[in-house]
Chain A
Amino acid sequence: MVIDDSSAMRLILGRIMRGLGFDVVEAPNGAEAIARLQSGAMPEIALVDWNMPVMDGLAFVNAVRKEEKWRQITLMMVTTESEQSQIVRALAAGAHEYVIKPFTPDAIADKLALLGVLAY
């Protein structure tokens, strides 16, 4: 699942993920992503932007981590928020990894491999 309010970024991340063999669903903010999860989507991994309207990425991570049934979803922040304190907040909330924009496709693949959701 790719969650980003920029349709260009969803396109770019979606293309990278499809190239790595994933099926991709998209959401333009945390609230729509939660709605998709509530309607039965169960992604292996969610790539989550931080700054989004309606529900931001940190609120999404908090909401997902409150639900036992979504515990297995791997959460990776992909964001321009690069202050150390913000990274710590996201990881403390339950994000597994953190990628700062701009990124390369290799950086995304390396992080996914590190998380064990991508086998090289």
Chain B
Amino acid sequence: MTYIPSADDLEVITREVWTSFLDGDPAGLLPGGSGADGDRVTGCVHLSGAYTGSIMLQCSGPAARDAAAALFSMQPTDVTQTEVVDAIGELANMVGGNVKSMLPGPSALSLPAVVHGQLAVPGAQVVREVQLTWRGEPLVVSLWQQAAAAA
């Protein structure tokens, strides 16, 4: 039987990444949240192979700027879109790579894609999702699976 990481697994992995590179404080990332609406940034990595799907990290614009500022040791007001794209891409890459290690292998991990707004994955469906809050802003991590593979 194929093990699919749980929502708790997604939270643990995200917390480890956030603690290592953004806050240094496991309590900085709170469970629960309302999801990111309106101004939002989405980072995504795709998996292909024994598991085909995506890992998506979506947060509000302010959270994305704060994350970039923390990674680059900058003031949030000085952060440009280049830094936001780099930071959210690398965070999605780290979360995705660690989720991948819990999925059936071997699978290939794509380079991260980052968009401002929501990212659609044609033919895929969400199989796990965790909603979190960071610095009062929403952060959602989701695991997607291609519909054919999920059926």
Chain A residues with a Cβ under 8 A of chain B? 5-9, 11-12, 51-53, 79-83, 85-86, 100-104
Interchain residue pairs with CB less than 8 A apart (10) = A6-B93, A7-B72, A7-B83, A12-B21, A79-B97, A80-B109, A82-B97, A100-B97, A101-B94, A101-B97
In the complex, residue of chain B having the shortest beta-carbon distance to the beta carbon of A8: B71
CB of A18, distance to nearest CB on chain B (Å)? 13
Q: Interface residues of B toward A: which range?
A: 20 to 34
A-B contact count (CB 8 A): 63
**A6 pairs with B90, CB closer than 8 A:** yes
**B90 pairs with A9, CB closer than 8 A:** yes
Contacts of B100 in A (CB 8 A): 80, 82-83
One of A6, A7, A12, A80 near B97 (C-beta < 8 A)? A80
For the complex, is B81 an interface residue (Cβ under 8 Å from A)? no
**A83 pairs with B72, CB closer than 8 A:** no
One of B16, B19, B86 near A6 (C-beta < 8 A)? B86
**B98 pairs with A8, CB closer than 8 A:** no
**A7 pairs with B109, CB closer than 8 A:** no
Contacts of A100 in B (CB 8 A): 97-98
For the complex, is B101 an interface residue (Cβ under 8 Å from A)? yes
- Give Cα distance in the complex from A5 to B40, angstroms: 23
In the complex, residue of chain B having the shortest beta-carbon distance to the beta carbon of A52: B111
